[in-house]
Structure 1
Amino acid sequence: MESQYTRKKSFIVNVVYIMLIALLVYISLKYVFNLISPFLFAFGIAYLLKTPAKKLSALTRIPVRWISIALVTLFYCTIGLLLVLLGVKLIATATDLVMQLPVLYKQQLEPFLLNGLHGLEKVVSDRAPVLVEKFNTDFDQLVNSLGSNVTNMSLSLIGAISNIASSLPAFFIKTLIMVISTFFIAADYDILSAFILKQFPVKGQKIIVSIKRYVIGTLFVVIRSYALIVTITFLELFAGLSIIGINNAVLIAMMVAVFDILPVLGTGGIMIPWTLISCLQGNYQVAVGLFILYLFITIVRNIIEPKIVGSQLGLHPIATLLCMFIGANLFGIIGLFGFPITLSLLRHLNDTGTIKIFK
């Protein structure tokens, strides 16, 4: 009896312990990460530039500090220029599309609905003339309601874009802090990393070094895995759009393939509206082709993604899919990538005997 009571007590304590750890991890990722993210990203960029800086310093015999500062400057200038050009193009395109929604409704959707009404009215009038007046009244109300909804949706989207623009100052402040921190961290990376590592006991230092090596290696594996998935999606899109007869198939396929990485939106964020617009414009052959292509890409993506990412991380596809689903719902794109990597890290630490979680 005492043994059974002890086992139950031990089970309850372990469950509470695990729940507290999970809660702390969740709070850290949800709130603390947002506060220290500029410094974490700065550390990551400084780490990536550390090896090239040391090699260039050995070749030129210029101190690593100055080489690091030069590389950070070059890195941010290049990335900043690309992001500015891309951002201006995307904002201009999105704004133009939003402004065109009411026009699209008036010129495409409303005539399509009215033509359908005339055909349906003819059928109804032949069989039940009494219902024609009632049907016309209800349909006019529907058309007017759709028109007002499209206008309201357009205004809402413009408001959303304005809200994004209003949040840009805070984003720029974080970005500025990250840029400044990168210069200081890159200049004294070895000193700072050694200082942080010394704050932990010897065993903790070994665990941290092991985690760092594994996570860095795993990140490259994940990047390589998703590069393969994007390449496969691009080839599918290019072949499908070429068969349908879409102009600039290479450029469009490249843009949609990159957009496919985003959670929730994915390929459907472009393909589904494109299919609807083609249908409203009367291009039924193109609309059917785009819809079939979207279904094919979605099915292939859902099959290959867990297998490719899971095999690279040493995880079963169902475990990878579960982590990706939970991570995307809790933390968005960070969780989509971070949860499979975290599970892979726990499996590695368990296999090496550093921690004991799985039997």
Structure 2
Amino acid sequence: MNINKQRAFIIHFFYFLILILLVYVGIKYVFPLLMPFVIGIIIAMSFRNLIDLIAKKAHVKRVLVSIIILIVFYGLVGFIISLIGVKMVNFINSLFYSLPTLYKETLLPAFQTVTDNMIHKYPSTKSYLDSFMSNIDQSVFEYLTKISSKVVGMATGFASQVPTLLIKLIFTIVSSFFFTIDYYKITRFIIRQFREEHQKIIIKLKDNVIGSLGNFIKAYAAIITITFTELSIGFWIIGIPTPFLFGLLVAIIDIMPIIGTGAVLLPWSVIAFIMGNTKIGMGMLILYIVITVVRQIIEPKIVGQQIGLYPIITLVLMYVGAQLMGVLGLLILPIMATILIKLNKEGSIHLFKI
């Protein structure tokens, strides 16, 4: 009996190991290769209920409603991306060209004032401070040169990727139209390929995947929205130009593991204090404290309710997923864990006791 249990344990262990390896290979290599079609399926599933509702209420063919909905959707997405892109390009251009002036007219005088005060109080440090200022000038010049070369390199690299991105975009749009229009035909065909007893498992797995993905998106969309609102109001009060654009960018950065708003607000605060702008320096510091406190209060509740995972487990899974599978791992590993927990609660699998 013990031998049979050991044999069964070994078989199950290798079964799950092979399954995990197949999932890893699929996500790591196959998933990115088929990304346009994956996005197309996600778009089709996202608009399915809305299209069904409009087609039923308006007594219009589902095909026509699908086409209109997708045209409106891609029109809005294109408009938003264009608007944000233009503002981003203009901001980066103005920042890039104003860096030398910013250094000469603000940072350099601030450093000079600090060193002059130090020399006045401690005359013996004059030679060291003069050498320090000379090194700063040289370092800043080298840094600006590196930034210029990197910007040119990034622009060249992006230009070379435009044809590939355009092809992927075309396939994504076309596949989304096909998947949306023939959604039920495609899903029925896929279901028919399985035995009747397996069809219920497939449908349940699909519902769990969609539900988990939806809950995950809802949770972090809510967190991004709250953080964006706090940042935008804070930037507006402090007097930062284009507060909503900066609020959106920092809110997106805040979702990334380990980085957070501190990677932007704290250096910004330090630079503002060095430049003698106490208002912005204090404002950024207070804003960072407020956002951090609010985030620590709301995240456990939002994540716990929507995803069903403890925040620390979610953070660990996002970090491990990012290390193993890149950006996709940030989403996929927590979603997979949520699906396993749901299947375990339903009794479909038995991984752990609740």
What is the letter of the counterpart of residue 120 of structure 2? K
Hey, what's the Cα distance between the residues in 2 that align with 1:8 and 1:216?
A: 36
Worse overlay, 51-60 or 282-291? 51-60
Q: What's 1:322 paired with?
A: 316
The alpha carbon displacement at 1:73 in A equals 2.1
The alpha carbon displacement at 1:46 in A equals 1.6
Deviations 1:294-326 (A, max 9, x none): 133134324532442123222233323322332
What percentage of aligned pairs have identical amino acids?
Answer: 36
Worse overlay, 241-250 or 81-90? 241-250
Hey, what's the Cα distance between the residues in 1 that align with 2:96 and 2:324?
A: 29
Q: What's 1:218 paired with?
A: 212
Cα contact 2:257–2:315 (8 A) shared by 1:
no
Q: What's 2:107 paired with?
A: 109
Residues 277 and 134 of structure 1: CA distance in aligned 2, closer, same or farther (over 3 Å):
closer
Q: What's 2:157 paired with?
A: 163
Residues 174 and 266 of structure 1: CA distance in aligned 2, closer, same or farther (over 3 Å):
farther
Residues 156 and 299 of structure 1: CA distance in aligned 2, closer, same or farther (over 3 Å):
farther
Hey, what's the Cα distance between the residues in 1 that align with 2:293 and 2:91?
A: 29
Worse overlay, 240-249 or 176-185? 240-249
Cα contact 2:216–2:306 (8 A) shared by 1:
yes
Cα contact 1:263–1:332 (8 A) shared by 2:
no
What is the letter of the counterpart of residue 111 of structure 1? P
Equivalent of 2:347, from 314, 335, 353?
A: 353
Hey, what's the Cα distance between the residues in 2 that align with 1:135 and 1:85?
A: 47
Number of equivalenced pairs: 353
Hey, what's the Cα distance between the residues in 2 that align with 1:100 and 1:155?
A: 16
Cα contact 2:257–2:318 (8 A) shared by 1:
no
The alpha carbon displacement at 1:6 in A equals 7.2
Cα contact 1:46–1:189 (8 A) shared by 2:
yes
The alpha carbon displacement at 1:287 in A equals 0.6
Worse overlay, 199-208 or 349-358? 199-208
The alpha carbon displacement at 1:215 in A equals 2.5
Q: How does 1:205-284 map to 2 (within 5 A)?
A: 205-237=199-231, 240-241=234-235, 244=238, 253=247, 256-263=250-257, 265-268=259-262, 270-284=264-278
Q: What's 2:50 paired with?
A: 52
Deviations 1:146-201 (A, max 9, x none): 33223322432342243234323212211100111122222221111111222223
Residues 73 and 240 of structure 1: CA distance in aligned 2, closer, same or farther (over 3 Å):
closer
Hey, what's the Cα distance between the residues in 1 that align with 2:32 and 2:171?
A: 13
Q: Does 1:28 align with 2:22?
A: no
The alpha carbon displacement at 1:77 in A equals 2.0
TM-score (norm 2): 0.85
* CA RMSD, Structure 1 to Structure 2 (Å): 3.1
Q: Secondary structure at the match of 2:255?
A: coil
Q: What's 1:74 paired with?
A: 72
The alpha carbon displacement at 1:38 in A equals 0.8
Residues 263 and 159 of structure 1: CA distance in aligned 2, closer, same or farther (over 3 Å):
farther
Q: Secondary structure at the match of 2:122?
A: helix
Equivalent of 2:197, from 160, 178, 203?
A: 203
Q: Secondary structure at the match of 1:260?
A: helix
Hey, what's the Cα distance between the residues in 2 that align with 1:314 and 1:250?
A: 31
Q: Does 1:100 align with 2:98?
A: yes
Residues 271 and 165 of structure 1: CA distance in aligned 2, closer, same or farther (over 3 Å):
farther
Residues 11 and 354 of structure 1: CA distance in aligned 2, closer, same or farther (over 3 Å):
closer
Hey, what's the Cα distance between the residues in 2 that align with 1:335 and 1:84?
A: 28
Equivalent of 1:287, from 272, 281, 297?
A: 281
Identify unmatched segments of 5+ residues in structure 1: none
The alpha carbon displacement at 1:347 in A equals 0.9
Identify unmatched segments of 5+ residues in structure 2: none
Hey, what's the Cα distance between the residues in 1 that align with 2:88 and 2:250?
A: 13
What is the letter of the counterpart of residue 196 of structure 1? I
Q: Secondary structure at the match of 2:109?
A: helix
Deviations 1:173-232 (A, max 9, x none): 111001111222222211111112222233332122112222223333233322332343
Cα contact 1:101–1:154 (8 A) shared by 2:
no
Hey, what's the Cα distance between the residues in 2 that align with 1:307 and 1:326?
A: 23
Cα contact 2:303–2:310 (8 A) shared by 1:
no
What is the letter of the counterpart of residue 107 of structure 2? L
Q: Does 1:192 align with 2:155?
A: no
Hey, what's the Cα distance between the residues in 2 that align with 1:189 and 1:324?
A: 31
Worse overlay, 13-22 or 100-109? 13-22
Deviations 1:32-85 (A, max 9, x none): 111111111111212223333333333444432233223222222222222222
Residues 174 and 32 of structure 1: CA distance in aligned 2, closer, same or farther (over 3 Å):
same
Residues 45 and 207 of structure 1: CA distance in aligned 2, closer, same or farther (over 3 Å):
same
Worse overlay, 191-200 or 233-242? 233-242
Cα contact 2:218–2:306 (8 A) shared by 1:
no
TM-score (norm 1): 0.84
The alpha carbon displacement at 1:351 in A equals 1.6
